[in-house]
Amino acid sequence: VTLFADHCAGCFYYLIAARYHDPQNTWIGASLGDDFLHQSIGILHLTSIYWSITTLTTVGYGDLHPVNTREMLFDIFYMLFNLGLTAYLIGNMTNL
């Protein structure tokens, strides 16, 4: 469940950046450069999953962070979702 949530969130976060009108003003554009659309799909997927896992685990190194308002809103909702998911998983583990 957690890996599926990581994958979906990473892909959606990349989609937000790929559809943004100014590629340099995105989280992945700030990290990989404004020509990130020409990177291999493996690098893009790995970078997106890396962001998702560091956000899910609340490590938050700060190397990949939201740059525009759309990304900030998605980050807020993703962090709230992660809070609920973590509470659900811990609750299930305590019932074992």
pLDDT for residue 61: 80
Helix (H) or strand (E) holding 27: helix 27-32
CB atoms within 10 A of CB 9: 23
What are the tens digits of pLDDT across the range 56-94?
A: 888 878 789 999 999 999 999 999 999 999 999 999 999
C-beta of residue 51 within 8 angstroms of C-beta of residue 27: yes
What are the tens digits of pLDDT across the range 13-56?
A: 999 999 999 988 999 999 998 789 899 999 999 999 999 999 98
Residues 6+ apart with CB under 8 A from 51: 10, 13, 27, 64
Q: What is the CATH number of the domain that holds 65?
A: 1.10.287
pTM of the model: 0.85
C-beta of residue 4 within 8 angstroms of C-beta of residue 49: no
C-beta of residue 37 within 8 angstroms of C-beta of residue 24: no
Number of domains in the chain: 1
